[in-house]
Chain A
Amino acid sequence: GAGVSQSPSNKVTEKGKDVELRCDPISGHTALYWYRQRLGQGLEFLIYFQGNSAPDKSGLPSDRFSAERTGESVSTLTIQRTQQEDSAVYLCASSLVPTGTFSGELFFGEGSRLTVL
């Protein structure tokens, strides 16, 4: 597609359920990032993929969070046993960046708004 696509755009779930959020980056973009934005907070880095590998998982807030990327394309962020504090907008971004350089232009999707009741 022309831009980064995320689904679902909105997800309401009950505490304790698992959720999966999907990101389709721009075709050819090797780098993919997940951020989280809680109400009144800035963007919080979660995880970075270069190709299919995730050299940096340091931002994942707990072991309930995991992410994978396949075929250097689609990525899924999974949250197990959701808690109310997981409520946030989850943003995905991609960039065309060779390893070792970074121009700073991330292309963001519109986000997936997660509400945990």
Chain B
Amino acid sequence: AQSVTQLDSQVPVFEEAPVELRCNYSSSVSVYLFWYVQYPNQGLQLLLKYLSGSTLVKSINGFEAEFNKSQTSFHLRKPSVHISDTAEYFCAVTHWRGEGYSTLTFGKGTMLLVSP
């Protein structure tokens, strides 16, 4: 069965500092990997995804994540964070359930707290 581990429940960081949010997954089959973000008082929204091809994927707001198959990781990074990046970040992996459909299995989330 697929599972996702986000070891850090909270990551405090100062504005303009770099940040890495860690994600490790467990799966016996090929995976698609995702990061979702939940800003305060909003629903979850897709930040970026890895389906195939280049292992480095990027979002429009400066985040990037690298799929590392040997380490079963999909860590999220940003070289310089803004106050507006304060949010909860969820890593997710495809859970193939048979009969041609799948759902997502999510980690517990990491709260990124950016302060001035």
Chain A contacts to B: CB under 8 angstroms: 3-4, 31, 33, 35, 40-43, 45, 48, 50, 55-56, 58, 91, 93, 97, 99-100, 102-111
Number of B positions contacting A (CB below 8 A) = 30
A4 to B45, CA, bound (A): 11
Q: Are A43 and B103 in contact (CB under 8 A)?
A: no
Chain B contacts to A: CB under 8 angstroms: 4, 6, 9, 32, 34, 36, 41-46, 49, 51, 90, 92, 94-95, 97, 99-109
- Cβ contacts under 8 Å, B45 to chain A: 107-108
Q: Are B102 and A102 in contact (CB under 8 A)?
A: yes
A3 to B97, CA, bound (A): 26
- From DSSP, what is the main secondary structure of chain A's interface residues? loop
A108 to B104, CA, bound (A): 12
- Cβ contacts under 8 Å, B97 to chain A: 48, 55-56, 58
Q: Are A48 and B103 in contact (CB under 8 A)?
A: yes
Q: Are A99 and B100 in contact (CB under 8 A)?
A: yes
Q: Are A108 and B94 in contact (CB under 8 A)?
A: no
Q: Are A45 and B105 in contact (CB under 8 A)?
A: yes
Q: Are A103 and B51 in contact (CB under 8 A)?
A: yes
Q: Are A50 and B49 in contact (CB under 8 A)?
A: no
Q: Would you give the shortest CB distance from A40 to chain B, in whole angstroms?
A: 7
A109 to B41, CA, bound (A): 11
Q: Are A109 and B106 in contact (CB under 8 A)?
A: no
Q: Given contact pairs A4-B43, A109-B43, enumerate 13 new A-B contacts (beta carbons under 8 Å).
A: A3-B43, A40-B9, A41-B108, A42-B6, A45-B105, A56-B101, A100-B100, A104-B34, A106-B46, A107-B43, A108-B43, A110-B43, A111-B43
A42 to B38, CA, bound (A): 13
Q: Are B101 and A42 in contact (CB under 8 A)?
A: no
- Cβ contacts under 8 Å, B95 to chain A: 45
Q: Are A108 and B101 in contact (CB under 8 A)?
A: no
Q: Are A56 and B103 in contact (CB under 8 A)?
A: yes
- Cβ contacts under 8 Å, A100 to chain B: 100-101
